[in-house]
Structure 1
């Protein structure tokens, strides 16, 4: 019984991590994509971080949301991909090889 629980825990833990983005998918990513389209093509990211920036120009306050989504490398695909979105639109895509 304990062996079954341990095996189940390993399966659940492995399923919690997102897969890295394969090259065939990476080349489909581009600036201007909406976040929903990005996630439908690339899958759920491993990590995400959000930040808000406020600005006051000519008496008008604007707030811009910046979000970074990361897909981490693993043993099969040694590349980490970080996509930056501003107000839900892709503005930067970086891919670095894991050493």
Structure 2
């Protein structure tokens, strides 16, 4: 029974991978769009990496926290392009796409 459960879990884990971003969707992504809009258009990424958080103190005493995330949609056999998007404070700041060799 445990072996069957383990096999079922592995199959489901493989099926849960995100799909690569099709070109028709990729050309609609742009710097300045909100992270929520990005996810709604492109779907959930394969990987999300939280980058550094920086805090800065302004002259009037307010503290500003900046956070950066990198979201990646991996290539597959049907669509050989990996897309990487950098999001700073919830806003897209960089979009890159590279062909899988």
TM-score (norm. length: structure 1): 0.84
Matched, 1:39 2:39: yes
Provide the alpha-carbon RMSD of the alignment: 2.2
How far does residue 71 in structure 1 lie from its aligned partner after superposition?
0.2
CA distance in 2 between counterparts of 1:63 and 1:13 reads 35
Q: Counterpart of 1:13 in 2: which secondary structure?
A: helix
Matched, 1:52 2:53: yes
TM-score (norm. length: structure 2): 0.83
Q: Which runs of 4+ in 1 moved over 2 A?
A: 8-11, 55-61
Matched, 1:66 2:68: yes
CA distance in 1 between counterparts of 2:89 and 2:40 reads 18
Higher mean alpha-carbon deviation, 50-59 vs 89-98, is at 50-59
Q: Counterpart of 1:39 in 2: which secondary structure?
A: helix
Q: Counterpart of 1:73 in 2: which secondary structure?
A: coil
Gaps spanning 5+ residues in structure 2: where? none
Deviations 1:36-76 (A, max 9, x none): 11000000000001131222343543210111100001111
CA distance in 2 between counterparts of 1:32 and 1:77 reads 26
- Correspondence for 1:77: 79
Matched, 1:17 2:51: no
Q: Give the total of aligned pairs.
A: 98
CA distance 1:61–1:9, change in 2 (3 Å): closer
